[in-house]
Amino acid sequence: MDLFRAHVLVCAGTGCSSSGSLELIKRFEEQIESSGLDKEVKVIRTGCFGLCEAGPVVIVYPEGTFYSRIRLEDVDEIVAEHLLKGRIVQHLVYKEKADDEEDHVTLEEIDFYRTQKRLALRNCGVIDPENIDEAIAFDGYMALAKALNEMTREEVIDEVLKSGLRGRGGGGFPTGLKWKFTYNSVSDQKYVACNADEGDPGAFMDRSILEGDPHALIEAMAIAGYAIGATEGYVYVRAEYPIAVKRLEIAIEQAHEYGLLGKGIMGTDFNFDLFIRLGAGAFVCGEETALMASIDGRRGEPRPRPPFPAVKGLFDKPTMLNNVETYANIPQIILKGADWFSSIGTEKSTGTKVFALGGKINNTGLVEVPMGTPLREIIYQIGGGIPNGKKFKAVQTGGPSGGCIPADLLDVSIEYDTLIEIGSMMGSGGMIVMDEDNCMVDIARFFLDFTVDESCGKCAPCRIGTKRMLEILERIVEGKGEEDDIDKLETLARNIKETALCGLGQTAPNPVLSTLRYFRDEYEAHIKEKRCPAHHCQKLLNYEITDKCRGCTACAKVCPVHAITGSVKEIHKIDILTCIKCGACMEKCRFGAIVKN
């Protein structure tokens, strides 16, 4: 086995790849070879490190030096200085803030990582996802070996039950119970399925696990197959994830070569095979019965339950379905024990949760924290707060099915039950931060517009009801709201929640209900005063030129409808009846003389 004195880890996840990390890898390899270091230094392409805002990211070991925002021209300097001479390139080292005097050299010194606990993401950014030997070096497939050689099927299920692991895909159903129900079903054939069809706007947790540690999923699904008595598994992954699909294909092929999939796994009588099915990006196929219908080759539509998939799922056989993040926890539960896992998090929400942190936040990226972590810690310590000195307003959790949490609930602990109590939900883990410039009425409109577009149309409450709600919201943000619109929205929302066929329809009104609950005053301002308090809704804006105007005429020159008049060196005026509220004048003004109200 080759031994190297240094390793250069380069993020090759989707985010960093789109920023040129693959070119960085090629350049590192070329420079290392030309410098005569190819026998001493190895370049490793990894999955996502999590801190996407700082990408492309490069970490050099054994020092663990964390370089961020690396450009192609920086590679030569890192090779010449760090790898050849052992001198850290200080100006390329990550800094928490642009004006920081202290360089945060290693990952452990960075606030973004300091309070995280990476379980599902444990190997992402650590191993080469296309090299099974590296996965095995980090205990890959050890849990499968333990399950097959030391545990009965019932003991595996009991361990998952005892751990308290709940489904990380949305509803938080106890994972062990789902496994037990499928185990108890009598059939000549059973299946294990994985939902990797992550459709929430801004969510990329499952994608990153597939890109960074695909063997964790393969091992977990094999363990699940053994536990419930299944010989086949299906991973339903969206076709828009080409890197994830490619790495999963490579991992499955390698697992077959090592005897970890197929016939007689690890010398036992257990047979298990894994197959990939590509989804076309339909959000409704995140619902389990719709997903299974799609794998079956039918239109992806939900069906009434019962019968539940544990009784009648894929190909009308008992099927157990979890999402990628849920599976990623299984090997560690089996290897380290249920008591170890349940000691993390809270009594009713054990373990950790991965969030895709985005929106108006300084540190965008993937975050994994113990359940029960206060929202404030995620926003301000890990996330680094709100950019440009703006005021935090709300955070949306749970994607289109979730709700908006206001600033006065920043100290709420992140766990399944507390989020439901305040009108939101865990969902798959999207976390979109909003500041004072976000209009909460328009936020509700945005998410409902997404839901209307993604509805399968099978049931009337979702197909028609959400459309009527969207029409009301569009009317409100255009300044045409009516006095009884709020009552109409609430009535429609309650009816849809009670009568829609599947989880998509039942949770579709949540963004509207939560914003009405916490930001009703904004709805009332839009309707009664024809005013958007956040100065966001274009149809409700008025632009005004203040006495800061220098009469430079720049605003008049860019106005597309000639609504601005005034002579040189005189304060200009805007004709509000002619103004189309495009904002071009405000963008052009160099003196801050134009305001919107």
Q: How confident is the model over 399-414, as pLDDT tens digits?
A: 888 899 999 999 999 9
CA atoms of 274 and 192, how far apart (whole Å): 9
- Write down the pLDDT at residue 170: 77
Amino acid at site 418: T
Q: Examine the domain organization and report whether 499 and 565 are in the same domain.
A: no
Confidence tier at 221 by pLDDT (50, 70, 90) = very high
Q: Is the dihedral of CA 87, 93, 97, 98 positive or negative?
A: positive
Residue 519 scores a pLDDT above 70: yes
- Same domain? For 587 and 490 the reply is no
Average pLDDT, whole number, for the chain? 94
Question: For residues 502 and 289, is the Cβ–Cβ distance under 8 A?
Answer: yes
* Separate counts of helices (H) and strands (E) for the chain: 26, 17
Closest CA to 588 of 559, 548, 546: 559
Taking residues 294-312, report their average pLDDT. 94
Same domain, 103 and 139: no
- At which of 79, 111, 143 does a domain end? 111
Residues 6+ apart with CB under 8 A from 274: 218, 221, 222, 232, 233, 234, 235, 252, 255, 261
In this structure, the answer to whether residues 249 and 309 fall within a common structural domain is: yes
Q: Is 407 helix (H, G, I), strand (E, B) or coil?
A: helix
Q: What is the pLDDT of residue 363?
A: 95
Q: Is residue 59 part of a domain?
A: yes
496 and 576 belong to one structural domain: no
Domain harbouring 158, CATH code = 3.40.50.11540
The CATH number assigned to the domain holding 105 equals 3.40.30.10
Would you state the pLDDT for residue 592? 92
Determine the Cα–Cα distance for residues 358 and 244; give it in Å rounded to an integer: 21
The verdict on 573 and 449 lying in the same domain is no
Per-residue pLDDT reduced to its tens digit, 39-76: 999 999 999 999 999 999 999 999 999 999 999 999 99
| Parent domain of 552 | 541-596
100 and 33, same structural domain? yes
E strand or H helix at 434, and its extent? Answer: strand 430-435
463 in the same domain as 521: yes
Task: Judge whether 266 lies within some domain.
Answer: yes
**188 and 335 in a common domain:** yes
Domain of residue 588, CATH code: 3.30.70.20
Residues 329 and 184 reside in one and the same domain: yes
pLDDT the model gives residue 99: 61
Q: Evaluate whether 398 touches 470 at the Cβ level (below 8 Å).
A: no
- What is residue 201's predicted lDDT score, i.e. its pLDDT? 80
Same domain, 267 and 159: yes
Question: Using CA atoms in the order 247, 248, 253, 259, what is the torsion angle rounded to 10 degrees?
Answer: 120
CATH of the domain at 454: 1.20.1440.230
310 located within any domain: yes
The pLDDT assigned to 377 comes to 96
Query: 61 in a domain, yes or no?
Result: yes
The DSSP annotation for 190-248 comes to -EEEEEE---STT--HHHHHHHH-HHHHHHHHHHHHHHHT-SEEEEEEETT-HHHHHHH
pLDDT digits (tens, 9 = 90+) for 147-173: 999 999 999 999 999 999 999 987 899
> In this structure, is residue 587 part of a structural domain?
yes
Task: Among 78, 111, 144, give the residue marking a domain's end.
Answer: 111
Q: Is residue 347 part of a domain?
A: no
Residue 419 lies in a domain: no
- Looking at residues 311-335, what average pLDDT do you find? 97
The verdict on 520 and 553 lying in the same domain is: no
Does 383 fall in a domain? no
Express each pLDDT in 345-392 by its tens digit: 999 999 999 999 999 999 999 999 999 999 999 999 999 999 999 999
- How many domains does the chain contain in total? 4
Residue at a domain's end among 319, 342, 365: 342
